[in-house]
């Protein structure tokens, strides 16, 4: 007799397999079906599943001390982890505020920026400018900054009144420019918006260096972030770099902002820090920001019970050690070029409109008409069809959720984002499975148009 499942899942429609175990880049269902995890969960399982050194570190720490409250005690794992993170950071980033995930870390950055301005006597500065087609998390502050239309819709009455500017989305440039004619209007839009509202009200600007969940790995144009940095400095606005998806090696650099040679005031990390082994996130700030807490405020009026606990930090430390010991960031940089080159063969399907991204974070955007970039009608559910077809073949990809690319209401795409330990042969297998998947989908959809 089948038991009633009392878990309240996110979807009440989707039928999900029950997973029994994982090993490296593979997952195995209860019935023994083998999947290649080419999405690393949601770009989190960066070093693969059930890796022995991480389990060992977890066990060692749990036996010693599993938890102490962060307002009562320091712990050695958090001190070591913060030191290791700062060593990996660009520029003068100096302090790490630990939390338990991406959304918590984004909320932390929001309050950190606000506290910084209040401490300097700029008490009106409270608005965070963000961009449409972005995702910064599910909690209300993070969602208010997010520009993912479908995720915001029913919670609109709760949204903070934060301004949004156009995304840096070269495939569908909001200013109808091509690469050769790009004059970074989308970056300068930040200055227009600050001036329209009044710099005295603006606390921060937040952006993902490579837009993940909403735009399937869309990088900003090369000069975008140096212009953003310049504008933020001019108007005393902090630049928050949301690297929940991209940090700790995913794009072939420790942090994706390094592709742009810019130093943010706050970097937000999550996902890959714990790599799926334990929930952990972090808001990392510069010495300039921290000094205000140290010299003026004396404390940060914000916190969570689980922040910086020894078990979370020991696990994250072992994840970072694993990445560094195996030189995985350089590997991702090098192999990422191979991955995108091989994936580019999929342009043979005329519904593949764009292939983009960096490192092991490559996005494919699917269109009804490659020439006009017209999206498929939303009701055709093309992303879902591709994803389900891939799953049947044992390949897990990361679908762009909620059709957001085109004005927040349409568009199809997905990411290929395997764990950093994926070999060249395994990349070939992923691309071959994807080729077969797109072939099957292509035949289905072209028959129906």
To the nearest whole angstrom, how small is the minimum distance from the Cβ of residue 379 to ligand PLP?
A: 26
Evaluate whether 50 touches 21 at the Cβ level (below 8 Å).
Answer: yes
Spatial separation of the C-alpha atoms in residues 393 and 370, rounded to whole Å: 26
Evaluate whether 142 touches 417 at the Cβ level (below 8 Å).
Answer: no
Evaluate whether 251 touches 336 at the Cβ level (below 8 Å).
Answer: yes
Residue 332 CA: distances (Å) to CA of 335, 379, 420: 5, 36, 6
Spatial separation of the C-alpha atoms in residues 98 and 82, rounded to whole Å: 9
To the nearest whole angstrom, how small is the minimum distance from the Cβ of residue 265 to ligand PLP?
A: 17
Spatial separation of the C-alpha atoms in residues 445 and 449, rounded to whole Å: 7
Evaluate whether 397 touches 346 at the Cβ level (below 8 Å).
Answer: no
DSSP letter (8 states) at residue 293: I
Give the nearer residue to ligand PLP in terms of CB position, either 118 or 273: 273
Give the nearer residue to ligand PLP in terms of CB position, either 47 or 273: 273
Give the nearer residue to ligand PLP in terms of CB position, either 137 or 252: 137
To the nearest whole angstrom, how small is the minimum distance from the Cβ of residue 42 to ligand PLP?
A: 6
Give the nearer residue to ligand PLP in terms of CB position, either 25 or 206: 206
Give the nearer residue to ligand PLP in terms of CB position, either 49 or 136: 136
To the nearest whole angstrom, how small is the minimum distance from the Cβ of residue 183 to ligand PLP?
A: 27
The footprint of ligand PLP (CB under 6 A) covers 42, 101-103, 106, 135-138, 208, 212-213, 242, 244-245, 270-271
Evaluate whether 315 touches 277 at the Cβ level (below 8 Å).
Answer: yes
Q: What angle do CA 241, 158, 115 make, to 5 degrees?
A: 45
To the nearest whole angstrom, how small is the minimum distance from the Cβ of residue 340 to ligand PLP?
A: 20
Give the nearer residue to ligand PLP in terms of CB position, either 174 or 212: 212
To the nearest whole angstrom, how small is the minimum distance from the Cβ of residue 138 to ligand PLP?
A: 6
**Position closest to ligand PLP via CB:** 102
């Amino acid at each position: 007799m089948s038991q009633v499942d009392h878990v309240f899942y996110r979807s009440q429609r989707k039928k999900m397999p029950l997973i029994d175990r994982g090993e490296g880049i593979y997952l195995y269902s209860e019935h023994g079906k083998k999947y290649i995890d080419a999405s690393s969960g949601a770009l989190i399982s960066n070093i693969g599943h059930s890796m022995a050194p991480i389990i060992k570190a977890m066990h060692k720490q749990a036996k010693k001390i599993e938890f102490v409250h962060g307002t009562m005690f320091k712990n050695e794992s958090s001190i070591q982890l913060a030191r290791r993170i700062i060593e990996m950071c660009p520029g003068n980033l100096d302090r790490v505020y630990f939390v338990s995930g991406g959304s918590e870390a984004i909320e932390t950055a929001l309050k950190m920026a606000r506290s910084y301005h209040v401490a300097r006597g700029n008490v009106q500065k409270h608005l965070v400018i963000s961009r449409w087609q972005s995702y910064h998390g599910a909690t209300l502050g993070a969602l208010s900054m997010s520009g993912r239309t479908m995720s915001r819709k029913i919670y609109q009455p709760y949204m903070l009144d934060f301004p949004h500017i156009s995304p840096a989305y070269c495939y569908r440039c909001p200013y109808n420019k091509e690469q050769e004619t790009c004059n970074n209007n989308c970056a300068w839009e930040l200055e227009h918006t600050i001036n329209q509202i009044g710099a005295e009200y603006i606390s921060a600007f937040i952006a993902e260096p490579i837009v993940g969940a909403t735009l399937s790995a869309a990088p900003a144009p090369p000069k975008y972030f140096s212009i953003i940095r310049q504008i933020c400095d001019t108007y005393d606005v902090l630049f928050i770099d949301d690297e929940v998806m991209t940090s700790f090696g995913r794009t072939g650099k420790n942090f994706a902002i390094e592709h742009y040679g810019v130093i943010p005031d706050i970097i937000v990390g999550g996902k890959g820090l714990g790599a799926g082994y334990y929930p952990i996130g972090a808001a990392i700030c510069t010495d300039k920001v921290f000094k205000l807490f140290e010299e003026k405020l004396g404390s940060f009026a914000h916190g969570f019970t689980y922040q910086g606990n020894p078990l979370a930090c020991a696990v994250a430390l072992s994840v970072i050690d694993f990445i560094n010991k195996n030189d995985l960031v350089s590997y991702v940089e090098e192999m990422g070029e191979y991955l995108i080159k091989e994936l580019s063969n999929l342009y043979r399907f005329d519904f593949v409109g764009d292939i983009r991204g960096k490192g092991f974070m490559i996005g494919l955007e699917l269109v009804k008409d490659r020439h006009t970039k017209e999206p498929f009608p939303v009701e055709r559910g093309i992303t879902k069809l591709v994803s389900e077809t891939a799953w049947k073949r044992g390949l897990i990809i990361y679908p762009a959720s909620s059709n957001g690319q085109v004005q927040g209401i349409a568009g199809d795409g997905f990411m290929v984002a395997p764990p950093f330990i994926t070999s060249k042969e395994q990349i070939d297998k992923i691309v071959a499975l994807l080729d077969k998947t797109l072939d099957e989908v292509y035949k289905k959809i072209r028959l129906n148009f």
